[in-house]
Amino acid sequence: MPAAVAAGTALGQGADATPDMRLHDAQYEDRYLLCSDGLSTVVSTDEVRRVLSEIAEPEQAVRELIALANASGGPDNISCVVADAVELQR
């Protein structure tokens, strides 16, 4: 199963606007999810893991995650990006 990485930062009025930055050596077939709390607060980690491991296409995985958040009453804006590490063609 591809490696998963989750990172979260809350920014708001009066918050420290310095973004968190982490370097990670991506490996072929790693999958990354970057999402807002509109997704992470209403969809369980197990459900996110299921979607990311069962749906091959990143765009379709995003659509499914947003649908799950909306179905769970997503009280906030829902943003997410799914990115797969692929082998570079030379």
Q: Which residue ranges make up each domain of the chain?
A: 31-84
* Residue in 21, 19, 20, 26 with CA at minimum distance from that of residue 4: 26
- In this prediction, residue 4 has a pLDDT band, given cuts at 50, 70 and 90, of very low
Per-residue pLDDT, 11: 52
* Residue in 36, 66, 38 with CA at minimum distance from that of residue 51: 66
Q: How far apart are CA 40 and CA 24, in angstroms?
A: 22
Per-residue pLDDT, 16: 62
Is the model's pLDDT at 46 over the cut of 90? yes
